[in-house]
Structure 1
């Protein structure tokens, strides 16, 4: 048996996809230890089958497909349990997770576009708070301002981003 090593490309794709894959598995298998075992086996399978991956398709969807198969294998090994979902439900959950993942990608893209449109003090305060993790008190001190004005700027930034993202998503048909 040849030993396989994950490529940097696979590693980067897996790091981004792993939360969605783990959420999918957890929706099928609520027991933490069982879902972790399925997730680990899915990672092994992804490593083994990565040469077959078509990079024109979304990696997350491919990985969720592998997770679905691993969940089925795990269920078969475990035997018949009345708390295990049938294949039809597994397909429905997989489809719902994939749709949600696509929407999250569209929301992130809209947020990124909206963030690029912000400027001035609102952008500066937003970047200091969310980008650098600074508290409103630290921001106020650095900008020689009041903590209250920082709260107001953050509130305005969140409202502006919420409205902008809403418009972006409405424009592309995502609700």
Structure 2
């Protein structure tokens, strides 16, 4: 079974859209919007909601204008996220963040955009979707973003013990789901 965010599902929607299926194109844009919000929020912590929304819209417009260049034999997500990456670089350059663009983004891009990395990220997102919103956010903050338990507890208004217990339970649930899926 494929989810709305898997390479297979997104590529299938793109191929249908290229063949003229408007409903598939709308579903594709909706799914990509969700992925872009997550993608940009992890990379633009200091951005305003309006800046992020503008960047999401610019990326979707770029997809629309470049969709005819998509090679049907290649993975769709790698192609799409390369567009998103360049939009992010343009955004930072437009804000005078040339140094940030050249150093941090340059290093991140090299490791972040292989097909395997993109597939792994989508797999992690699918796994996290099975958790409660509270557990999902705690896992993202502490385990994926590397924030401290103390900082996360302060931000969420919970005790450190409650954060640790919630993370432990979430990881246990993920482990059970993975063992059951094997």
- State the TM-score, normalizing by the size of structure 2: 0.48
* Alignment coverage as a number of residue pairs: 115
CA distance in 2: counterparts of 1:57 and 1:103, whole angstroms: 22
Structure 1 residue 62 displacement after superposition: 2.7
Q: Secondary structure at the match of 2:55?
A: helix
Q: CA deviation digits over 1:100-126, x for unaligned, max 9?
A: 114445x59xx9xxxxxxxxxxxxxxx
**Who is 2:180 aligned against?**
167
- State the TM-score, normalizing by the size of structure 1: 0.50
CA distance in 2: counterparts of 1:10 and 1:48, whole angstroms: 13
**Who is 1:100 aligned against?**
121
CA distance in 2: counterparts of 1:167 and 1:25, whole angstroms: 32
CA distance in 2: counterparts of 1:46 and 1:88, whole angstroms: 24
Structure 1 residue 34 displacement after superposition: 2.1
Structure 1 residue 13 displacement after superposition: 1.5
CA distance in 2: counterparts of 1:98 and 1:88, whole angstroms: 19
Structure 1 residue 75 displacement after superposition: 1.4
**Who is 2:150 aligned against?**
none
1:52 aligns with 2:69: yes
Structure 1 residue 56 displacement after superposition: 4.3
Task: Output aligned runs, 1:1-20, within 5 Å.
Answer: 7-20=22-35
What residue ranges of structure 1 are gaps of 5+ in the alignment? 112-160
Aligned CA RMSD, in angstroms, stands at 3.5
Task: Output aligned runs, 1:26-175, within 5 Å.
Answer: 26-30=41-45, 31-32=47-48, 33-80=50-97, 85-94=104-113, 96=117, 98-104=119-125, 107=127, 163=176, 165-168=178-181, 171=182
Conservation of the 8 A alpha-carbon contact between 1:10 and 1:50: no
- The answer to which structure, 1 or 2, has the higher relative contact order (CA under 8 A, 6+ apart) is 1
CA distance in 2: counterparts of 1:6 and 1:73, whole angstroms: 31
CA distance in 2: counterparts of 1:80 and 1:98, whole angstroms: 29
Conservation of the 8 A alpha-carbon contact between 2:92 and 2:100: no
Conservation of the 8 A alpha-carbon contact between 2:55 and 2:91: yes
**Who is 1:142 aligned against?**
none
What residue ranges of structure 2 are gaps of 5+ in the alignment? 1-19, 131-173
Q: Secondary structure at the match of 2:71?
A: coil
Q: Secondary structure at the match of 2:85?
A: helix
